Copies of this chain bind each other. A is one copy, B any other.
Amino acid sequence: MPKAKYEQLYQILKEKIESGTYPPQEMLPSEHTLIAELGCSRNTLRRAIGELVRVGYVQTMQGKGVRSIYEPSRQTTFTLGTIETFSESAERNQQRGASKVLLFSSVTADWQLAEKTGFAEGTPLFYTQRLHYLNGRPLIFNHSYFRQDVAQGLTREIAEQSIYRYLETELHISIINSKRVVTVEKATALDLQHLDMGDCNCLAVVSSQTYNSDGVMFEYTQSRHHPNFFRFQDNAVRRSSAYGRPEEK
């Protein structure tokens, strides 16, 4: 599926790590070896390895080598650094996803909404509330705002299916990137009404601003997650010893 060679190499190596060809704590073959093995240039191989570093599969040490630090099977609900719709995520985790549209309307951004979403005041927007189910349980309450001049012709019927499919295949909008912020908020009456969260009175909130290829932010979505089913993964790399160089010799 992926056309780029470095993506293919990344998939191959990822597969080998997951399947135990390169078990945890073990060193991978050196770049020189892998180049001969995979038939690629050093740059392309290193690009693939760089991806593996980013997702926390390996660590690299100058002069020493590349070590696998993969630990299998931590159930992932949310992957980082890549945009995924709810239905895509559900499918990847092999679970039954369903959605219900609670509200679909047109609004104009007032001062308060503009402040919250980042849209300019007075922008005409579509506003929709959707509830996402996983295995029959309501887990995510979505508030989404779409710029009307970008998401032209959006209807409640489309929202019942998949908004992104409509935007990408019908309107030929290319989604480029999405800025996301994770916070924790007090549950509102609306949250409690729909999410059935027991004795928890807070939930995980993922606010995202999504941009198209024209550089315009056309979507603001606030995903309010059931706290017991929220999980956000990340791998951080220490750039340089923050405490200056340890004295030599």
Range of interface residues on chain A? 35 or more
Q: Are A169 and B235 within 8 A (Cβ)? A: no
**Segment 208-249 of A: residues with Cβ below 8 Å from B:** 208, 211, 213, 215, 217, 225, 227-228, 230-244, 246
On chain B, the residues within 8 Å of A182 by CB distance are: 182, 204, 230-234
Within 8 Å by CB of A81, from B183, B231, B234, lies: B234
On chain B, the residues within 8 Å of A204 by CB distance are: 182-184, 204
On chain B, the residues within 8 Å of A233 by CB distance are: 179-182
Within 8 Å by CB of A246, from B82, B169, B236, B239, lies: B169
- A196 interface residue, CB < 8 Å from B? no
Q: Which residue of chain B has the shortest Cβ distance to A27 in the bound complex?
A: B215
Q: Are A2 and B240 within 8 A (Cβ)? A: yes
- A176 interface residue, CB < 8 Å from B? yes
Q: Are B61 and A165 within 8 A (Cβ)? A: no
Q: Are B59 and A177 within 8 A (Cβ)? A: yes
Bound: A240/B233 CA distance, A: 21
Q: Are B56 and A237 within 8 A (Cβ)? A: no
Known: A177-B238, A180-B236. 14 other contacts (CB 8 A): A61-B213, A69-B211, A71-B118, A84-B242, A85-B242, A165-B243, A169-B243, A176-B237, A178-B235, A178-B236, A182-B230, A182-B232, A184-B204, A184-B227
Seen from chain A, the residues whose Cβ lies within 8 Å of a Cβ on chain B are: 2, 25, 53-54, 56, 59, 61, 64, 67, 69, 71, 74, 80-85, 88, 118, 164-165, 168-169, 172, 174-186, 199-204, 208, 211, 213, 215, 217, 225, 227-228, 230-244, 246
Identify 8 residue pairs between A and B in the complex whose beta-carbon atoms are under 8 Å apart, listed by A's number: A69-B177, A80-B236, A81-B234, A82-B238, A168-B241, A176-B238, A179-B235, A180-B235
3 pairs of A and B residues whose beta carbons are closest in the complex = A202-B202, A184-B227, A182-B232
